[in-house]
Structure 1
Amino acid sequence: MRLLIVAVGQRVPDWAASAYEDYAKRFPPELKVELKAVKTEPRGSKTLEVLLAAERERISAAIPRGARTVVLDERGTALTTKALAARLQAWQLEGDDVALVIGGPDGTDPGLRQAAHERIRLSDLTLPHAMVRVLLIEQLYRAWSLNAGHPYHRE
């Protein structure tokens, strides 16, 4: 199984890239994590609908056929770490790749959100894009460690 993080936006600060890589390399070989950054649509004088549709096309192209799609969305289901660990375990048992989508500065296209298998939220707070990448991979690692009995997660 592979976890694929599809994130709109190609530039993140060095600290975020470093933190992301630190967690990404901790995953075991049987649970690969891959980041696919897709281009943010240039703003110009385009409508929000046009911007989100263009980003949706890029996101969809980055998601492998047959992958379970999970969109991060402020209106999504709030999960505890234990609940995320249970979801991760279920995803692993299903065996399909899972694509976790982080939208751009304007969010995600409504059609993409509706078509997703799941929508989850990381926080009630609005978070910077770079922070979301780091927070997501840290929580995925924490969920894996909880399932594996690794001492990283403590109650």
Structure 2
Amino acid sequence: MKLWLVAVGQRLPAWAETAYEDYAKRFPPELRLQLKAVKAEPRGGSSAERLMAAEAQRIEAALPRGVRRIALDGRDAALLIGGPDGLDPALKAGADERLRLSDLTLPHAFARVLLAEGLYRAWTVVTGHPYHRE
């Protein structure tokens, strides 16, 4: 099963690339996190069966529940991070879930790192790994 992080923007600062890759490589083989960077232009759907728009619940509570549901149903999932104008309303309407990363406006590079760490933390909570206690 794969978790796709679909994010607008193709060029990241070196610090963000390094931080994102550090979290992405920590995932186990049965739950890979893969990045799909897209240009800032209108896009339609996703090839994943479950869409999660990174924007309405608190992420600390929502992600472990989401990771648990994803693991139980076995479908790939795509988490979408919008561009400067946010996500297309049709994508938001079609999302299975919405997540809120912050009340702050975040740089796209930071949002990717934050979401990768949050997903990893959620996986550790679900599996009983001690990372979330460090």
TM tier, shorter chain? over 0.9
CA offset digits 1:53-99 (Å, max 9, x no partner): x2x23xx2xx215x1000112xx12232x442122111110100000
Q: How does 1:24-35 map to 2 (within 5 A)?
A: 24-35=24-35
Q: How does 1:89-100 map to 2 (within 5 A)?
A: 89-100=68-79
Report if aligned partners of 2:62, 2:99 keep a CA contact under 8 Å in 1: no
Identity of aligned residues (%): 58
CA offset digits 1:93-150 (Å, max 9, x no partner): 0100000000111111111111111111111111110000000000000011111111
What is the count of residue pairs matched by the alignment?
134
Aligned to 2:5, what secondary structure does the other structure show?
Answer: strand
> With structure 2 as the length reference, what TM-score do the two structures score?
0.94
Q: Corresponding residue for 1:5?
A: 5
Long gaps (5+) in structure 1:
42-53
For residue 4 of structure 1, what is the amino acid of its counterpart?
A: W
* 1:64 maps onto 2:57 in alignment: no
For residue 9 of structure 1, what is the amino acid of its counterpart?
A: G
For residue 54 of structure 2, what is the amino acid of its counterpart?
A: L
Runs of 4+ more than 3 Å apart: none
* 1:38 maps onto 2:20 in alignment: no
Report if aligned partners of 2:6, 2:35 keep a CA contact under 8 Å in 1: yes
> With structure 1 as the length reference, what TM-score do the two structures score?
0.82
C-alpha distance in 1 between matches for 2:59 and 2:12: 26
C-alpha distance in 2 between matches for 1:109 and 1:32: 26
Long gaps (5+) in structure 2:
none
Q: Pick the structure with greater CA Rg.
A: 1
CA RMSD of aligned residues (A): 1.4
